[in-house]
Amino acid sequence: MHIAFAASECVPFSKTGGLADVIGALPPALVSLGHRATVFLPLYRQTALDNPRVVIPSITVPFDDRYRFCSVLDGGMRSGVQFYFIDYPPFFDRDGLYGTSLGDYHDNAERFALFSRAVLEAVKVLGAPDVLHCHDWQTALVPILLKTLYYEDPAFAAAPCIFTIHNLGYQGLFPPEILPLLMLPWDLFTISKLEFYGKVNFLKGAISMADFITTVSRRYSQEIQTAEYGFGLEGVLRARGSTIAGILNAVDYVSWNPETDPFIAAHYSAADPGGKAKCKPDLLNQFGLATDTHLPVVGMVSRFVPQKGFDLIQQVADRLALEDLFMVVLGSGQREYEEMFRRLARQYPQKFGLKIAYDEALAHKIEAGSDIYLMPSHYEPCGLNQIYSMRYGTVPVVRATGGLDDTVEQFDPRTLKGTGFKFREYSGEVMLEALRAAVALYRADQNAWHVLMQNGMAQDYSWINSSREYVKVYERARQIKQQAAGG
Ligand code: ADP
């Protein structure tokens, strides 16, 4: 099968979050299963290419006010995957991918409309794939275009379009006037298509029109069909319920491996875990905390946004500081959360370590040197850090939502089964209880703790399993498309 990906970011070319990791890892995993994969990306200022070659000098993209002309560059092959870049400097040669610290770029709808149309035009020249796979609101116009302006185009008669939701919180909402500007018909502005409380919602359109929808964990695929997690799109998602699948993101165990990690103080493995004891004092040192290795260290690495459950920490912050533990936090984001952690670090300097930054090396040190990793997310489509934690023998304490619920199994001290501690109710009190249960086990029973660590280290979330599940979805979507064409 030939699968063409359209996405707005991909490591190592461009990254703001987990989407880039998935686009960097899934296509090569499909190639290793014997499939062909092509990836289309925007050519951003931050994208560095060696000797790119122009393969399509000009693609015309009509807008209401003018025609725009972009080109397609061949970015070469990496791990068997062919990369193409849509080059249109007025839109993509900018500092940020989607905006600056002041907010989103005002012309994001036009930017990603141009990208989506250019991908469809490029695919027609370069060879139509068997499957198109699009991701998040930035490429949501691809399935919408395929069901409208490109509906009769023979190039896409057989290829189904799969749409993956990486985070339902980002939908691509624009004023209605965007439709004529993008040369899209007004009849899309209905409640069954793109209209959403008076605005145009790209994500809603893709959910309604893609041939198949996936999300990044099974639990999240169910949660988004409920009012609590659906961001107002639960009804549209429920209507598509039989064509939604949850496929867990996998992780890159080459970068996240305590046996080879270049950032940590000592290497270790499940068979020889001794090195972890050296990583703990190194971590405490990094944060200027006393190297008292009897107390458990609780780590967090995160974007400081409400999604990640920081209001739960806010609810119990001072009581947390009275517990017998150290807490080390790395991240940045909303001011109120930065302020909260700054206050805690000031008030309890012997207990709280804080670094407000994006720091890859320190993130690795936290995974290796902590005993417990705290992830109390309000919602979590998949989540990566809890998976890294398990591989590093760091016990996750998580809220049972989305991918956290799918990947962490509650530890049972009687059977010694399980990989971490989970709590369900979204309350600071209940989070504190779960954390206390973990700390109590750590202090009372080092043998059981050792088994718990080993259980986590034995987990395998590599791409080979997840990519096989994607292949099944592609096959099913092709059948659905064939049946629709025949019927
Ligand atoms: P999300 O994509 O919602 O931010 P994930 O858990 O899926 O959450 O992925 C977050 C990734 O970003 C992880 O690899 C994590 O280590 C990394 N990360 C987040 N914040 C920081 C930071 N301040 N410094 C270094 N790495 C970070």
**Chain-wide mean pLDDT for the chain?**
96
Question: ∠ at Cα 423 (418, 425), nearest 5°?
Answer: 155
Question: ∠ at Cα 304 (214, 374), nearest 5°?
Answer: 80
Contacts of 146 (CB under 8 A, 6+ apart): 120, 132, 156, 161, 209
- Helices assigned H by DSSP within 33-130: 89-92, 108-126
CA of 256 to the centre of ligand 1 (A): 13
Q: Is 18 in the pocket of ligand 1 (CB under 6 A)?
A: yes
pLDDT score at 189: 98
pLDDT band at 487 (very low <50, low <70, confident <90, very high): low
Burial of 244 (0-12, 13-18, 19+ CB in 10 A): buried
Q: How far apart are CA 373 and CA 354, in angstroms?
A: 15
Q: Which residues pair with 99 in a beta bridge?
A: 104
Q: Is 385 in the pocket of ligand 1 (CB under 6 A)?
A: yes
Q: Is 358 in the pocket of ligand 1 (CB under 6 A)?
A: yes
- Helices assigned H by DSSP within 271-309: 276-286
Give the number of the atom of ligand 1 that is nearest the alpha carbon of residue 355.
23
Instruction: Flag whether the pTM goes above 0.85.
Output: yes
Residue nearest (by alpha carbon) to ligand 1 atom 7: 383
The mean pLDDT of 153-170, rounded to a whole number, is 96
Q: Is 403 in the pocket of ligand 1 (CB under 6 A)?
A: no
Give pLDDT tens digits for 176-190: 999 999 999 999 999
**Which H/E stretch holds residue 313?**
helix 310-322
Give pLDDT tens digits for 299-330: 999 999 999 999 999 999 999 999 999 999 99
Contact 129/159 with Cβ under 8 angstroms? yes
Pairing, β 372-375 against β 297-304: parallel
Q: Is 151 in the pocket of ligand 1 (CB under 6 A)?
A: no
CA of 195 to the centre of ligand 1 (A): 32
Q: Is 124 in the pocket of ligand 1 (CB under 6 A)?
A: no
Give pLDDT tens digits for 349-368: 999 999 999 899 999 999 99
Give the number of the atom of ligand 1 that is nearest the alpha carbon of residue 330.
23
Residues 304-342: b if buried by 16+ CB within 10 A, e if exposed: beebbbbebbeebbeebeebebbbbbbbebeeebbebbe
Q: Is 246 in the pocket of ligand 1 (CB under 6 A)?
A: no
Distance of CA 161 to the CA centre of its chain: 20
Residue type for position 298: V
CA of 383 to the centre of ligand 1 (A): 8
Q: What is the DSSP letter of 228?
A: T
Give the number of the atom of ligand 1 that is nearest the alpha carbon of residue 375.
6
CA of 469 to the centre of ligand 1 (A): 25
Q: Is 325 in the pocket of ligand 1 (CB under 6 A)?
A: no
- Identify which of 166, 301, 358 to mutate to test ligand 1's pocket (most ligand atoms within 8 A of the CB): 301
Q: How far apart are CA 56 and CA 419, in angstroms?
A: 51
Token output for 7: 């996405």
CB atoms inside a 10 Å sphere around CB 365 = 25
Q: Is 208 in the pocket of ligand 1 (CB under 6 A)?
A: no
Q: How far apart are CA 137 and CA 473, in angstroms?
A: 20
Q: Is 404 in the pocket of ligand 1 (CB under 6 A)?
A: no
- Dihedral (CA of 117, 43, 28, 242) sign: negative
Give pLDDT tens digits for 101-141: 788 999 999 999 999 999 999 999 999 999 999 999 999 99
Q: How far apart are CA 441 and CA 48, in angstroms?
A: 49
The mean pLDDT of 435-447, rounded to a whole number, is 97
Give pLDDT tens digits for 194-210: 999 999 999 999 999 99
Q: Is 398 in the pocket of ligand 1 (CB under 6 A)?
A: no
Q: Is 210 in the pocket of ligand 1 (CB under 6 A)?
A: no
CA of 18 to the centre of ligand 1 (A): 7
